[in-house]
Structure 1
Amino acid sequence: MHDNINFVLVKSIFFFCLFPQIKHMMAFIEQEANEKAEEIDAKAEEEFNIEKGRLVQTQRLKIMEYYEKKEKQIEQQKKIQMSNLMNQARLKVLKARDDMISDMLNEARQRLANIAKDPARYSSLMDGLLLQGFYQLLEPKVTIRCRKQDVQMVQASIQKSIPIYKAAVKSNLEVRIDQDNFLSPDLSGGIEIYNGNGKIKVSNTLESRLDLMAQQMMPEIRVALFGANPNRKFLD
């Protein structure tokens, strides 16, 4: 029993002597553990921030690409809409110009009736229409159709025109007025001339002459009304 007491006493003295060192070692180990934990936390936070930055940058690039694509699409749609609006406006301008020319020609047709109301002017015009028809056909026999009210004037014009034609072409000409088929009274005046078998016709009514003149002079009419086309490079 005396030995047990000594052992306990020795053990107590030994533990008492080593206790500060153990405590110091435990503190050191705890400090090391804390530092290691802080290092791990710092490294983890750094890696987290790096990964977060990478993800943010990646998403930012995706968002920028998305909006750039959308911006290009919107710009393309804007160009298409602008082109459509310009084409629509151009078509409206062209239609307005055509309507103006059509109104002008209709007004000119209405004024044609005034020519026949002036006997001296109409008679001189009839001479020219007859001679032109004779020269175009160059046939020995022709038939003339006119309005019923113009028969006497046409007969007088034929008598004046035949000698002029014969002297010019050195050929005889037989002219007949069709008394069975008159031109429509709705026409403003003029004549139609047919060759002997009626297969060739020269239309020299006032309306047909106006239409022919309008076709031939349409470029000049457009320039006079609307000015020269700045986009036109070549002139006929």
Structure 2
Amino acid sequence: MALTDADVQKQIKHMMAFIEQEASEKVEEIHAKAEEEFNIEKGRLVQTQRVKIMEYFEKKEKQIEQHKKIQMSNLMNQARLKVLKARDDMIKELLNDARQRLAEVAQDPAEYSTLLEGLVLQGFYRLLEPKVTIRCRQQDVDVVQAAVDKSIPIYKDAVKSNIVVKIDQERFLPSGVCGGVELYNDNGKIKVCNTLESRLELIAQQMMPEIRVSLFGANTNRKFLD
């Protein structure tokens, strides 16, 4: 049976409707798939960037914390250095005050004579030489000679040896020296410095731990005392 033009047109329209429906469904499927892939990719990118951002801020936080520790350490070191400098300045001031008071020692004839006797005799013992030359302040020549005369018999009796002592009348101790003596062996190569300044310096070195404890208290970080 032959199809009429109406039947043909009807079938064509039916086929076109089917094709359009199928195309529409395919488009929707493609859109859905594209949307899904887009959401997946967006989620992946968001997660990746979130991780990068978290890592960045963690790194920055660590850098800030490290910088903070370094800054705190520097401030503590600066404060420690200031404390140490203040302490050293205080000790220097104390020693300078002690040096200024040395001049007062020589102003008491009896006390100074006794002190010179000890300094001279100690110099003899340290040199242990048969011939000794003594250098002193020009104004101390007589009192030093008296100390020598008194010390020689004590020295001879102690070491069972003779000693000849000469006071240098050409070279004296500098005018800035507060007192005391310098003793030399015969050729001048061995020297014992027993000026008041040198004795103060020696005592200061020996007593520095006690001085620091008296001024600043005991160091809690110090494990050994000798």
Amino acid at match of 1:192: E
Q: CA deviation at 1:71?
A: 2.2
Alignment partner of 1:100 is 2:107: no
Instruction: Using the TM superposition, give the Cα deviation of residue 26 of structure 1 relative to its aligned residue in structure 2, in angstroms.
Output: 5.9
Higher mean displacement: 83-92 or 136-145 = 83-92
Other-structure match for 1:196: 186
Instruction: Give 1:3's aligned residue.
Output: none
Q: Which residue of 1 aligns with 2:4?
A: 11
Q: C-alpha distance in 2, partners of 1:41/1:199? A: 108
SS in 1 for 2:193: strand
2:104 corresponds to which of 102, 109, 114: 114
- In structure 2, what residue type is equivalent to 1:135? Y
Q: Distance in 1 between matches of 2:115 and 2:190?
A: 22
Report the equivalent of 1:219.
209
Structure 2 residue 81 is matched with structure 1 residue 91: yes
- Identity percentage of aligned residues: 76
Q: Distance in 2 between matches of 1:169 and 1:11?
A: 158
- Partners in 1 of 2:68 and 2:225 — Cα distance? 35
TM-score (normalised: structure 1): 0.85
The one-character-per-residue Cα deviations of 1:179-200 (angstroms, maximum 9, x if unpaired) are 1111122211101111122221
From 65, 71, 74, give the equivalent of 1:81: 71
Question: Cα distance, 1:81 vs. partner?
Answer: 2.4
Q: Secondary structure at 1:171's aligned position in 2?
A: coil
Residue in 2 aligned with 1:47? 37
The 3-state SS of whatever aligns with 1:192 is: strand
Alignment match of 1:149 (pick from 131, 134, 139): 139
Deviates most, 130-139 or 26-35: 26-35
Alignment partner, residue 34 of structure 1: 24
| Contiguous gaps of at least 5 residues in structure 1 | 1-6
User: Partners of 2:57 and 2:104 in 1: how far apart?
Assistant: 70
SS in 2 for 1:176: strand
* Shift of residue 25, structure 1, vs aligned partner: 6.7
Structure-1 separation of matches of 2:175 and 2:74:
48
Tell me the residue number matched to 2:167: 177
- Residue equivalent to 1:187: 177
User: Equivalents in 2 of 1:48, 1:182: separation in Å?
Assistant: 103
In structure 2, the partner of 1:58 is: 48
Q: Which runs of 5+ in 2 are unaligned?
A: none
* Deviations 1:160-193, CA, capped at 9 Å, x for gaps: 2111111111122221111111112221110111
**Cα RMSD over matched residues?**
2.4
Does the residue aligned with 1:139 lie in a helix, a strand or coil?
coil
The Cα of 1:24 is off from its aligned counterpart by 6.7
Aligned length: 225
Q: Hey, what's the Cα distance between the residues in 2 that align with 1:116 and 1:109?
A: 12
TM score, norm. by length of structure 2? 0.88
Partner AA of 1:169 in structure 2? V
- SS of 2:189 mapped into structure 1: coil
